[in-house]
Amino acid sequence: MNILLTGTTGFIGSNLLTVLTHKQKESENNIIILSHRETENSPYIYIDHKNYQFVKEDFLEKKIENIDIIIHLGAFTPKNSQQANNVDKCISNIINTQYLCANLPSIPKKMIFISTLDVYMNSNEPITEDTPTIPCTLYGQSKLFCEKMLEQWAIENQVVLQILRVGHIYGKGEGAYHKIIPVSIKEILLDHNPVIISNGSEKRSFLNVVDCCNLIMKAVELKEYKGPINLVSNQSISILELVQMLIDISKKNILPHIKNENIKTKDFIFNNAKMIKYLGMETISIRVGLEEEYEYFKSNKI
């Protein structure tokens, strides 16, 4: 079976490739990487996407005449809130996804599309798959458009599609993102007081990237489209508790630096019942996941 992956140089994609490497030892699948950069010493078939100017012949030259499954992670993903409305980069998500579907050596049997929770409207209630899809950013709009485009494409070509809307993911490899966990770890490693831009009472739910990747692979086993599924955790934790947990893990004698204590905050939590029903449960607790990420940052001097 030929499995095509995009986005393998990104945060989730690089971790998914690691998961697949372990599973590959137990299977006879051919893994094809469509990327702008070949992974060093990779045992997989590499095809340069040429900034999404590749052609079908690029596959045929590597003796790839058909694709059975696509896991499409490749996309522009904002590293911070300022990037979420970058017009050109957000539009590239749509253009590149359309180009991918039109330039494969064959119509695949199945596609897993990695979308985002940014397709949803802001809500004070736990986010579910029934929360209205009213994106607040161009990034969210671009991913929602891709979802609708792929749903129609899958119907027309009899492809089994599965859309996975990824939530707040943390773990090894997220160092480039300006998010609370990697930023706090970096500050703690420098013996600085990690900054919280609120009173820290707002609750968040974080899913470990290893759990995320294992759930993606579970989605490959689905026989029919189940509608979008949120890949999220239901382990809610306040931002203050999160930062204090990181400090405790570090064993350093520092305290969080609370800024804007009176700022209005909002919880952002999820209901993952649909994920559990079709794909299974998360397995890594927030404490264990943070310990692993802290040691990763420390060992690699990130």
Model confidence pLDDT, tens digit, residues 63-83: 999 999 999 999 999 988 889
Q: What is the pLDDT of residue 232?
A: 97
Classified as helix, coil or strand, 76 is: coil
The share of the chain scoring above pLDDT 70, in percent, equals 98
Evaluate whether 2-166 and 180-205+235-269+283-300 have a shared fold. no
- Phi first, then psi, for residue 47 (nearest 5°) are -130, 125
Q: Please tell me which residue, 38 or 274, carries the higher pLDDT value.
A: 274
Residues 6+ apart with CB under 8 A from 90: 76, 138, 139, 141, 142
Say if residue 86's pLDDT is above 90. Answer: yes
Say how far apart CA 183 and CA 167 lie, in whole Å.
18
Predicted local distance difference test score (pLDDT) of residue 26? 60
CATH no., domain 2-166: 3.40.50.720
Cα(22)–Cα(36) distance, rounded to whole angstroms?
23
Give the up-direction half-sphere exposure of residue 109: CA atoms within 13 A in the CB hemisphere: 12
Residue 195 in tokens: 């900054």
pLDDT mean over 53-65 = 96
Per-chain mean pLDDT for the chain? 94
Output the furthest CA–CA distance in the chain (Å, rounded). 62
Could you say which architecture CATH assigns to the domain 180-205+235-269+283-300? Answer: Alpha-Beta Complex (3.90)
- Crossing angle of helices 239-250 and 286-300, in 10° steps, is 50
Say if residue 287's pLDDT is above 90.
yes
List pLDDT tens digits, range 185-244: 999 999 999 999 999 999 999 999 999 999 999 999 999 999 999 999 989 999 999 999
pLDDT at residue 165 in the model = 99
What is the model's pLDDT at position 300?
87
Residue 24 pLDDT grade (very low, low, confident, very high; cuts 50, 70, 90): low
Contact in structure between 130 and 121 (CB atoms under 8 Å): no
Q: What pLDDT is attached to residue 29?
A: 83
Structure confidence by residue, pLDDT tens digits, 163-185:
999 989 999 988 778 899 999 99
Report pLDDT for 261.
81
- Band of pLDDT at residue 25, cut at 50, 70 and 90: low
- Count each helix (H run) and each strand (E run) in the chain, helices first: 9, 13
**Pick from 245, 266, 256, 122: nearest CA to 195:** 256
Domain ranges of the chain: 2-166, 180-205+235-269+283-300
Q: Of 141, 174, 45, 161, which is closest to residue 101 (Cα–Cα)? A: 161
248-285 pLDDT per residue, tens: 999 999 999 998 888 888 888 899 999 999 999 999 99
pLDDT range class, residue 139, cuts 50, 70, 90: very high
Here the tokens at position 55 are: 């052609």
Q: Are 112 and 164 in contact (CB under 8 A)?
A: yes
CA distance 206 to 167: 7
SS (H, E, C) 85-135: HCHHHHHHHHHHHHHHHHCCCCCCCEEEEEEEHHHCCCCCCCECCCCCCCC
